[in-house]
Structures are given as C-alpha cells and as structure tokens.
Amino acid sequence: MAADHGDSEGQPGKTGGQSARDNGLENRLRQLDEKLASRRTAEQEKEAAWARNNKSGWANAVRLSSEFVAAVIVGVAIGWVLDKWAGTSPWGLIVFLLLGFAAGVVNVMRATGQMAEFGQQGGGTGDREK
Amino acid sequence: MRDAAPAITGLRDVADPNKVDPIHQFHINKLIDLQIGGLDFSFTNSALFMVIVVVLTGAFLVLTTSSRGLVPSRMQSVSEMAYEFVANMLRDAAGTHGMKFFPLVFSIFMFVLVANLIGLFPYFFTVTSHIIVTFALAMLVILTVVIYGFMKHGLKFLKLFVPSGVPGLLMPLVVAIEIVSFLSRPVSLSVRLFANMLAGHITLKVFAGFVVSLGAMGGIGFAGAILPLFMAVALTGLELLVAFLQAYVFAVLTCMYLNDALHPSH
C-alpha cells in the first residue's frame, strides 16, 4: 500500500527518494513479518508440547472414562425412550445398550488417536497392524 | 439447575453448615422467589454467580481495552492474550473459516474459565460444578454444530455418520454406532467439566475438614493437622491448574466439533 501511494504522487524527483525509502520500509516490514510468523509457530509448538506433557494421569483418566460412560448413558437413554414410544421393551434397551458400549469404545479410541475422526478415512489401519 | 433444586433442598436437613460437610457448598438457595406460570424462575445463588461471572468478564474486557494503547498496558495485554489464545486455538482446529464462530468460542471459554476461577474463592459458589449448567453449555455447542451443519451442507452433513470404505452389510451397524457416538459428545463434554469441578471441590473440602476436626482434638491432633493442611494448599494449586485446563479442554473440543460442522467430509 505504501508503494502505491509513492507511485501516485507523480513528482519524479520526490518519488525516487520516496520509493527508495518505501523499499527500505517494505523490506523491514517483510523481515518483521517473517520474524513474527516464525515466532508464532514456535509458540504454538511450545503450547502443544506443554499440553502434551502437562496432561496428568488424572486428567487423562477423567477424559477417557467420561467419553466411555457418556456413550453408554446415551445408548441406554435412546433405548429406553424407544421402548416407551414403540412398546418394544426390552429389545430397544438391549440393542442400544450394546450399541452404546460399542460407541464408547469408538469414543475412547478416537480420544487416544487410534481411530480416524468423524468423516475422515483410514488412519486406524496402520496402528491396528502393529 | 432448576430441576436439581428440589432434590437438593431435600438434602438440606442432612447437610448442616456447622458440621464439616463437603457437599454443603453445592446447595442452591433461592435468593428471590419468583414463580411465573407455575414454573420456578427464582433467582438463586447459582444465577447470582452466573451474573457475577458475566459482569466481571464483560467489565474486565471493556475496561482493559477501552484505552486501546498501541503499546498495551499490563491489563490490556491480558485481554489481548486471551483473545489471541482463543483465536489461535480456533484457527488451528477449524481453519480461518472457523473464525466466524469466534464470539461463541471466546464467550464459552471466558465464561467457563472465570466461573471455575471464581469458584476457588472460599464461600463462593462454583457454577460449573452443576451438571445442568455444563450440559446447557454443551447443548449450545452441539445445537450450533447441528443447525449450522444442516444449513451449510444440507443433507450432505449426514455424511459425517458414514465412514468411507465400510462393507455394505456392516453399514447400518456402523452408522448406528457413529450416531450414538455423536450424541454422546454433549454428555461427555458436560460430564467432564462437571466431574472435574465437583471432585476437585469435594476433595479440597474433605482435606480442609480434616484440618478442622484434627485441630479440634488438640495436642497430637494439632500436630497431625499439619499434613492435611499442606495437602489442602497443594490441592488449591492443582485446582487452579484444573480450572484453566478444563476451560481450555472445553474450548478446544468446541472448536473440534465446530470443525465437523464446517467440513463434514474432509
């Protein structure tokens, strides 16, 4: 933007000096940008490392158990409501409890990164073979 | 919270503030009784602390950024750090498209963080230790994801539940599991925050209770009370970490779920 401004001035003597100065300024701006960019990624890496190291066993335990328990609860809730509506007791509860267990395992595997996220493909196969 | 109130008031005769009772801090008391159309709209201590959290956060952000110095003052840079922290988190998880959800994620992060931190003060009420509050926050997130996903992608949003490369025979089973797994997200999101806050505050109270009851014995008990006292101090530090960590986890998972709404099939 600074360069455009210098060109539109239309005064030959002045533009020469100004564009040189603009070039210098631009160079410095670019350098600053680069420095900021590298610093930003470095900060992000540091943050990620901090998050990895600082995840205490307790936090991990609560995370994984809540993932598993939540799916079972949701499965039971769906089955129970379905039974109430359709009068299929106890089949809805049985089927959805089992589905809930399966979904809980899926949740835990996703949380530990052993399975692909929603809508993504592959990912899990490599780990399974190990 | 409103639903939980009658069940908890039933416990009140069990829980006596004069006894050492770790559950007493979670009681909901009506400050202003308000009934509208047979529904209980009473202004409770929980509601009071939610208002305090919102006012405190809003006032802090407005006051610290009002001068808008190019060289930020100390408090201004705290606000800017909070902004950049959440902005980077959202950009990493959901890309630049995700920035349209920045107000939502930032509000949730600040609300949870300030509510967690305020709850650490003695005699203060911890809003996030009630599952109905955290569940309401989680439902807000999930409904945003679902509604925005259907608005943006229409029925293609349902591709989220159909992993590619699954044999046709197994497909109904896999889709059912995926749907249950998706529905379990708000539950696990809310249970995690609620369980962390509840467990942390109870543990803190139990150890502080040891100090009181051992100290009351005098003599040897007094000397023995030093150990739980140290434990209570250490736990307070841990709780501070947990308060930050859980607000961070809640916000990160919010970003990840919003990413699903933006890009259902990568």
**Is B166 near chain A, with CB under 8 Å?**
no
Q: Helical H runs in chain B?
A: 4-9, 45-66, 74-94, 102-118, 131-153, 171-217, 220-224, 226-262
- The predicted pLDDT at position B94 comes to 86
Rounded Cα–Cα distance for residues B232 and A32 (Å): 47
CA distance, residue B137 to nearest chain A CA (Å):
16
- The predicted pLDDT at position B2 comes to 45
ipTM over 0.85: no
Cβ atoms of B184 and A71 within 8 Å: the answer is yes
| DSSP code per residue over B82-138 | HHHHHHHHHHHHHTGGGGGGHHHHHHHHHHHHHHHHHTTSTT---GGGSHHHHHHHH
**Is A92 near chain B, with CB under 8 Å?**
no
- The predicted pLDDT at position A43 comes to 66
Query: Would you place residue B215 in the very low, low, confident or very high pLDDT band (cuts 50, 70, 90)?
Result: confident
- Where is average pLDDT lowest: A61-75, B6-20, B101-115, B251-265? B6-20
Helices B131-153, B171-217: inter-axial angle, 10-degree rounding: 160
Cβ atoms of B137 and B112 within 8 Å: the answer is yes
Whether A66 and A38 map to the same domain: the answer is no
- The predicted pLDDT at position B11 comes to 46
Task: Give the tens place of pLDDT for each residue, B218-236.
Answer: 778 888 888 889 999 999 9
**Nearest chain A residue to B181, by CA:** A103
* pLDDT above 60 (res B30): yes
- The predicted pLDDT at position B32 comes to 86
Whether A3 and A19 map to the same domain: the answer is yes
**Is B139 near chain A, with CB under 8 Å?**
no
Whether A75 and A31 map to the same domain: the answer is no
- The predicted pLDDT at position A130 comes to 31
Rounded Cα–Cα distance for residues B242 and B246 (Å): 6
Query: Would you place residue B69 in the very low, low, confident or very high pLDDT band (cuts 50, 70, 90)?
Result: confident
* pLDDT above 70 (res B23): yes
Query: Would you place residue A94 in the very low, low, confident or very high pLDDT band (cuts 50, 70, 90)?
Result: very high
Q: Is residue A128 part of a domain?
A: no
Contact yes or no for A78 and B183 at CB 8 A = yes
Cβ atoms of B182 and B138 within 8 Å: the answer is no
Residue span of the structural domain in which A22 resides: 1-54
**CB-CB neighbours of B26 under 10 Å:** 20
Pick from A40, A70, A106: CB nearest B188: A70
Mean pLDDT in residue range B161-176: 86
Rounded Cα–Cα distance for residues A13 and B1 (Å): 74
Q: Is residue A130 part of a domain?
A: no
Take residue B174 and report the two structure tokens written for it.
Answer: 């896999």
**Is A93 near chain B, with CB under 8 Å?**
no
Residues in chain B: 266
Rounded Cα–Cα distance for residues B260 and B23 (Å): 38
Whether A99 and A64 map to the same domain: the answer is yes
- The predicted pLDDT at position B157 comes to 87
- Where is average pLDDT lowest: A114-118, B44-48, B129-133, B190-194? A114-118
Query: Would you place residue A1 in the very low, low, confident or very high pLDDT band (cuts 50, 70, 90)?
Result: very low
* pLDDT above 70 (res A8): no
Q: Is residue A86 part of a domain?
A: yes
- The predicted pLDDT at position A54 comes to 53
Name the residue with higher pLDDT: B170 or A125: B170
Hey, which residues 191-210 in chain B have their CB within 8 Å of chain A? 191-192, 195-196, 199
- The predicted pLDDT at position B117 comes to 94
Whether A36 and A90 map to the same domain: the answer is no
- The predicted pLDDT at position A123 comes to 41
Whether A79 and A26 map to the same domain: the answer is no
Residue B26 identity (one-letter amino acid): F
Take residue B218 and report the two structure tokens written for it.
Answer: 């005098």
* pLDDT above 50 (res B262): yes
Q: Is residue A129 part of a domain?
A: no
Residue A16 identity (one-letter amino acid): G
Contact yes or no for B180 and A59 at CB 8 A = no
Contact yes or no for A63 and B192 at CB 8 A = yes
Take residue A47 and report the two structure tokens written for it.
Answer: 């943050």
| DSSP code per residue over chain A | -HHHHHHTT--HHHHHHHHHHHHHHHHHHHHHHHHHHHHHHHHHHHHHHHHHHH--HHHHHHHHHHHHHHHHHHHHHHHHHHHHHH--TTHHHHHHHHHHHHHHHHHHHHHTTSS--TT---SHHHHHH-
| Peptide bond just before B264 cis, omega within 30 deg | no
Mean pLDDT in residue range A87-105: 91
- Looking at the 3D structure of chain A, how many domains does it have? 2
Contact yes or no for A99 and B177 at CB 8 A = yes
* pLDDT above 60 (res A124): no
DSSP state of B214: H
Task: Give the tens place of pLDDT for each residue, B121-151.
Answer: 988 999 999 999 999 999 999 999 999 999 9
* pLDDT above 60 (res B18): no
Whether A71 and A102 map to the same domain: the answer is yes
Q: Is residue A127 part of a domain?
A: no
Whether A32 and A21 map to the same domain: the answer is yes
Name the residue with higher pLDDT: A69 or B17: A69
Whether A66 and A112 map to the same domain: the answer is yes
**CB-CB neighbours of B231 under 10 Å:** 17
* pLDDT above 90 (res A89): no
Whether A40 and A66 map to the same domain: the answer is no
Query: Would you place residue B41 in the very low, low, confident or very high pLDDT band (cuts 50, 70, 90)?
Result: confident
Pick from A40, A99, A119: CB nearest B180: A99
Whether A50 and A63 map to the same domain: the answer is no
* pLDDT above 50 (res A64): yes
**Residue pairs spanning A and B at CB distance below 8 A:** 85
